[in-house]
Structure 1
Amino acid sequence: MRLHCHGLFLPLYSSPVKHIHFQCRHCSTQWSREHSLTLDCTLNPCVISASWLGSISDSRAPPIACLSTPLLIHNSTVHMTTASAPPETLFALTISDHSRVKLVLDTKFLFLDYLQPRTSSNIACFSPVACLSPGSAVDDESSQQCSIPYFNILYADVTPPNTTTSLINYGTLSLDYCIVTGADAPITANERKAKLARLAFHIDAQSAPAAAAFAAALMARAYNAAVGCIAQKRLLVFVNPFGGKGKAIRRFRAGALPVLEVARCKLNIVETKYRNYALEYVENTQGLEELYDGIVCCSGDGIPHEVFNGLAHRSTGPDRAFKIPVCQIPCGTGNALAKNLCGTMDPAYAALCTVKGAPTPIDLCIFTQNGKSSVSFLSQAIGLIADVDLGTEHMRWMGNARVTVGLLQRVFAHKSYALDAQVRIVHDSRDQIRRAHKKHTARPVTITPDSPDLDSSSAEAWPDLKYGDGTDDIPEDWVTLDTSNISLFYVGKMPWMAFDALFFPAALPRDGYMDLVTVDATIPTFEILSIMSGVAEGKHFESDHVKYYKCDAYRVTPTGQEGYVSIDGEKFDYAPFQVEVKKRLGTVLSYQPIYQAPAI
């Protein structure tokens, strides 16, 4: 009898065989026939144990054959026949030592089961058919398992074998993915990081169609088109060469670009040349909506601010333009958008989130001053925060330390600010805010386009202003706050204002509200320092000296002689302004429909 094993003929037994018994080691299917037999097994490869029965006087232990396709036994010769493997399971060989690997598509993971024969007398036939020598037990095989979440997988591809040669040839199944660390660490720890990795396996000619089907099935699970996540995204990438103390380009090229390229994204990389360059590019580029699946900002928070405002003024209409999703690779100083969407300051991990992101609607704010309206995606500040943010521009050489130094200088100088503020308050108690936050975040965290919470068709239009442009009379249901002597007046639409500033822990992406924090300047200095030191983990939310509101509109009139107004970190006139929320007006590229912030 001979075993025909992918072109290799391995003599196993020379005596006549009258009866053979077969059993699959995985599904336990048994066959027992004389002379001729067709085997059908639900698994691929089917691992068969063959035992000699009948009129055989040889007392040797049965040989074992590990087969990648069903067998046709005829005239005492075993021939391979072709069978299509189910796409959920595939067997391949490691390239280094040709050990068998079983790849299985699970619900959330790709499982890899490295099957290593324990016997030292393995017959090396260099194919997915591992033929063990006589004397091996049926289950004498060890298993080393590992798994890769579909979120981590970037690309799967099959290179078919060269069938024009008579030599044994193999194709290659390649898997590009990211090794992610810190995913289980607290979101405040900033430990989420990603590193590129690759796995490659040999496949034989007969397994090539099954391998191609498997790779396609894997890609379909890695990129769930049903929720809007597409592979090989077409991305417009803005890189601010001046961001991050001039290190933005290097951070992008070293960390983010390799991930985007391995994922086969189609990139148009544009370096900004001056302030508002991205705004002008987005506003004036023809066919932007058809050309790109997303806009990536490799910068601090200034470029996203420009992009959103560029979308607002496109001639195609802002309602259509705002459907283009925006995201950020953290290459600047603030990087708040990346922190809120990805929970990281690592460019590679942010790039992975970009690759795996789906269009997700968010609320935007409309800032109106001197008859002109602008989009604010992040925050508005007047008082201490605006002073520290904009009044320390001359200290940018210090990096993130300038914020700490500027804050201490002003706190110890007992700096205070005066303004008039009228606010349309929706919630003013911690209990109300907690209940609303819990109700919102208790929803499933899987993006589904038909979810009412994610339905962008209910987006409010731009630039229709529900409460006017700030020159109208104050509505009766607005409340005047006591802000004649304050330290903080800070409004946010996202939880994180920087990688270490969880200023608005109750902020939500689509609740239709802004979060307002005020702190009176009359409290002791050490209390202000205590409040600011607790911002990194959102502990100030519990302080009795912090007033925390949910509102959907407000108006501010500065009464001091000089100061700063900061909108998304950008400088605006120190003059009266009004802000209101537009529900679901904007779109971001996010892998989860909620912001990456701890529960309150």
Structure 2
Amino acid sequence: SQLEERKLLVLLNPKSGPGKAREVFQQRVVPILAEAEVGFDLFVTKHASYARDFVRTKDIYQWRGVVVVGGDGIVFEVINGLFEREDWQKAIKEVPIGVIPCGSGNGLAKAISYAIEEPFDQNPILISTLSVIKCRRVPMDLVRVETKSQFLFSFLSVGWGLLSDIDIESERLRAIGGQRFTVWSVARLIGLRTYRGKLWYLPVSATSYTPVHPSRSYHDCINSRYRPLQVVDFEEDPVPDSLSLETSLGRALEDIGEGEEPGRPRLDSYYSAASRRSTYFSMAGSEYRSVADNGSYMEHPGGDIQPRRPNSNVRMYGPPSQLPALTQPVPEHWTVIEGDFVLVHASYQSHLSTDCLFAPNSKLADGIIWLLVIRAGISRGQLLQFLLGLSSGTHLLVPQAEMIPVTAFRLEPETPGGHMTVDGEVVDYGPIQAELMPSLTSVM
């Protein structure tokens, strides 16, 4: 089919996490893609917002999906780049997103494997690469976030307080990978801060909420609250179901071979003598084509995406908000909490990082923002128990950790000098509000 013949677009961030993305892709991902005969076009990001501007400006429909090799930062860029397109509705419907985890956190990659019950921890790169090869699309909620200067689309979390401080302030330890979060947690526990503010939220029970069925999607109806959800007719799986993780990799790849079209020449194995002679991967350049029929990489011409100017006025599209503007009062039926907080952190994924099971009951498309609140007054011992429990989900056993399922919230900090983050990226410190957009995109 036409879908099968299209390649994958691979956007690789060489500076993600410990900076090993290039090596990981070359040594561990390319051989699997080559064996599975999945073509790809590789572009290595050159600067911040490269991936965002790439998906905003290019003809992305020539590829069957976008695969990001990196951390959650490049996922954020790709998602928001799609919403900067005039044809955003078509783009989010037709272009699924896959993740090969090479960052420090890798929250989305872990959440996807958790949702489809794959054994991620044993071999994250293999599991994620096989998911991308199968190209089975799974709907995923996004959250529309509004600050005083912008609105954007979030796939992971909105944070204020302790966890955001750890995320942002540990950037200086990026070279040590995921361990940076542990080290900085200790530092922040010793110098514990509290923040005064006001939090409003719309509990799930207060809405006419019904869980979004995984096969349903927001794509064809911008306003899901007033129009029925449409079922998306995703194209058939381009790779046979036999490529499952219960089989060994070798057996799975044999199965793919059995399903070949007659007369279609099988690509050289990456490991074959011909491939070893002809395959190269120049670290100096930044753009490549996938393994061609002779087993070699072809360089892309390119480099036409320039760094964004600070005040570049790129328009953001996407579904309209159903909330009052940030300058307007919150609806009276919302719940309000005010006072001093240690943290307020909202997530719509099960995991914030590979080893942080933040919202154990979260699903990719459950229609819920999981809002975690810890108020001031918690002891350092209890907070330590909370932080230690994040890896297993037992942090919710700490009595002071309140997990509230909501569909929207607004947060107004009063204490100056903190960090406000969306998907681990710093945004303007000040009032912020968020609302759930059910099954707005799809991942693979």
Q: TM-score, normalization: structure 1?
A: 0.54
- Counterpart in 2 of 1:536? 391
Map Cα deviations across residues 91-121 of structure 1 (whole Å, 9 max, x no partner). Answer: xxxxxxxxxxxxxxxxxxxxxxxxxxxxxxx
Q: Is the 8 A contact 2:222 2:319 kept in 1?
A: no
Asked if 1:335 is matched to 2:109, the reply is no
1:396 partnered with 2:174: yes
SS at match of 2:202: strand
Per-residue deviation, residues 224-250 of structure 1 (Å, max 9, x unmatched): x9xx9x656521101111113221111
Q: Which deviations, in whole Å up to 9, do the C-alpha atoms of 1:11-34 show, x marking residues without a partner?
A: xxxxxxxxxxxxxxxxxxxxxxxx
The superposition leaves residues 469-503 of structure 1 with CA deviations (integer Å, 9 ceiling, x where unpaired) of 32222111111113x22112100010011010001
Residue type of the partner of 1:509?
L
Q: Does 1:463 align with 2:309?
A: no
What is the CA–CA distance in structure 2 between the aligned matches of 1:578 and 1:241, rounded to whole Å? Answer: 33
Query: Which residue pairs with 1:45 in the alignment?
Result: none
Deviation of 1:563 after TM superposition, in Å, equals: 0.9
Aligned residue pairs total 341
Are the aligned partners of 1:489 and 1:516 in contact in 2 as well (CA < 8 Å)? Answer: yes
Question: Which structure: greater strand fraction?
Answer: 1
Residue 353 of structure 1 deviates from its aligned partner by 1.0
Q: What are the residue-to-residue correspondences of 1:507-546 with 2, within 5 Å?
A: 507-546=362-401
Task: Say if 2:112 and 2:364, in contact at 8 Å, map to a contact too.
Answer: no
Kindly indicate whether the alpha-carbon contact (under 8 Å) linking 2:358 and 2:390 is maintained by their aligned counterparts in 1: yes
C-alpha displacement at 1:564, in angstroms? 0.5
Distance 1:400 1:426 in 2: 33
Percent identity among equivalent residues? 29
Q: For residues 391 and 244 of structure 1, what CA distance do their matches in structure 2 show?
A: 14
* TM-score normalised by structure 2 residue count: 0.72
2:250 aligns with none
CA separation of 1:330 and 1:232: change in aligned 2, threshold 3 A: farther
Shift of 1:460: 4.2
The answer on 1:504 being equivalent to 2:276 is no
Given the superposition, is the C-alpha separation of residues 522 and 381 from structure 1 closer, same or farther in structure 2, using an over 3 Å criterion? same
3-state DSSP of counterpart to 1:337? helix
Kindly provide the amino acid, as one letter, of the partner of residue 410 in structure 1.
Answer: R
Alignment match, 1:495:
350
Give 1:246's match in structure 2, choosing from 19, 25, 44: 19
Mapped partners of 2:218, 2:80: distance in 1: 22
The AA in structure 1 aligned to 2:71 is: G
Q: What's 1:128 paired with?
A: none
| Aligned pair partner of 1:472 in 328, 335, 345 | 328
The reply on whether 1:288 has 2:60 as its aligned counterpart is: yes
What is the CA deviation profile of residues 66-103 of structure 1, one whole-angstrom value per residue up to 9, with x for unaligned ones? Answer: xxxxxxxxxxxxxxxxxxxxxxxxxxxxxxxxxxxxxx
1:521 deviation in Å? 2.6
For residue 477 of structure 1, what is the amino acid of its counterpart? H
Question: 2:34 is matched with which residue?
Answer: 261
Aligned residue in 1 for 2:140:
362
8 Å Cα contact 1:231-1:355 kept in structure 2: no
Structure 2 counterpart SS, 1:418: strand
- The two structures, once aligned, show a CA RMSD in angstroms of 2.3
In the alignment, the residues of structure 1 paired with residue 324 and residue 363 of structure 2 have an alpha-carbon distance, to the nearest angstrom, of 24
Asked if the contact 2:385/2:398 (under 8 Å) is kept, the reply is no
Could you list the structure 1 runs, at least 4 aligned residues long, displaced by more than 3 angstroms after superposition.
Answer: 230-233, 453-461
Choose which of 344, 348, 353 in structure 1 pairs with 2:131.
Answer: 353
Counterpart of 2:409 (choices 554, 571, 583) is 554
Other-structure match for 2:52 = 279
Counterpart of 2:159? 381
Q: What's the CA shift for 1:456?
A: 4.5
CA distance in 2, matches of 1:402, 1:417: 23
1:156-175 equivalences in 2 (<5 Å): none
- SS of alignment partner, residue 353 of structure 2: coil
CA distance in 1, matches of 2:378, 2:392: 22
**Aligned AA for 1:467?**
L
Maintained 8 Å contact 2:104/2:174: no
Cα distance change of structure 1 residues 355 and 233 upon mapping to structure 2, 3 Å threshold: farther
Amino acid at match of 1:466: Q
- Structure 2 Cα separation of the partners of residues 252 and 472 of structure 1: 48
Q: CA deviation at 1:391?
A: 1.4
Query: If each structure's helix is expressed as a fraction of its own residues, which one has the higher value?
Result: 2
Post-superposition offset of 1:454: 5.3
Contact 2:10 2:43 in 1 (8 A): yes
CA–CA distance in structure 1, aligned partners of residues 363 and 205 of structure 2? 14
| CA-to-aligned-CA distance 1:318-345 (integer Å, 9 cap, x gap) | 1111121011001111111111112425
Distance 1:470 1:405 in 2: 36
Report the alpha carbon displacement of residue 463 of structure 1 after superposing the two structures with TM. Answer: 3.1
Q: Work out the CA distance in 2 between the residues paired with 1:246 and 1:512.
A: 34
Matched residue of 2:329: which SS? Answer: coil
1:485 aligns with 2:373: no
Contact 2:223/2:319, CA 8 A, preserved across alignment: no
Letter in 2 for 1:288: I
Equivalent residue number for residue 407 of structure 1? 185
Higher relative contact order (CA 8 A, sep 6+): 2
Instruction: Report the AA paired with residue 387 of structure 1.
Output: D
Give the counterpart letter for 1:339 in structure 2.
K
Pick from 319, 325, 328: which aligns with 2:89? Answer: 319
For 1:555 and 1:546, how far apart are their aligned partners in 2?
19
Separation of aligned partners in 2, 1:393 and 1:535: 20
Question: Partner of 1:402: helix, strand, or coil?
Answer: helix
Q: In the alignment, is the contact (CA less than 8 A) between 2:149 and 2:428 conserved in 1?
A: no
CA distance in 2, matches of 1:249, 1:347: 13
One-letter identity of the residue aligned with 2:140: I
Alpha-carbon contact 2:222-2:320 (below 8 Å) kept: no
